[in-house]
Amino acid sequence: MVLENYVKLTPGVPKRLHFTDHALVTKTLTDPLLGRSKEVRSLEFLVDSEDGVKVDKSFSVVSEKLAATLEPWLGGKRYLAYEFTITRRGEGFVTSYTVDVTPARA
């Protein structure tokens, strides 16, 4: 049985999300290259809609590029009024993200 409590991004596949809350947290991750544990800061969102389907999931952002892109919508929870369609492209150090920001009523 697989419990899908976290939103996963598959390279090249857009994922449309609506966020309801967020927090900056410290997480312990295992480095896939070195196999060592390390602490990273993560921007965590609560998600109530994924590709138009109601869900109760978390979305974890550890990429500084993606966090910087989303930062202007954090203050005052401005993200509540928008949907974010995030497409992860590439792998590893060259990963980039396309982020479509759409007013929720549009």
Q: How many residues does the chain have?
A: 106
Contact flag: residue 49 with other proteins (CB under 8 A): no
CA–CA gap between residue 104 and residue 106 (Å, rounded): 6
- Residues near 103 by Cβ (< 8 Å), separated by ≥ 6? 81, 82
Provide the pairing of β-strand 82-89 with 15-30. antiparallel
Instruction: Between 56 and 89, name the residue whose CB sits nearer to other proteins.
Output: 89
If binding is defined by CB under 8 A, does position 15 make contact with other proteins?
A: no
Which part of the chain contacts other proteins (CB under 8 A), choosing from 15-23, 29-37, 44-52, 88-96?
88-96
Q: Which of 90, 92, 93, 104 binds other proteins (CB under 8 A)?
A: 90
Is there binding between residue 101 and other proteins (CB under 8 A)?
yes
Asked if residue 59 lies in contact with residue 7, where contact means CB atoms within 8 angstroms, the answer is yes
> Which residues would be at the binding site for other proteins (CB under 8 A)?
11-13, 24, 41, 43, 64-65, 67-73, 78, 89-90, 96-103, 106
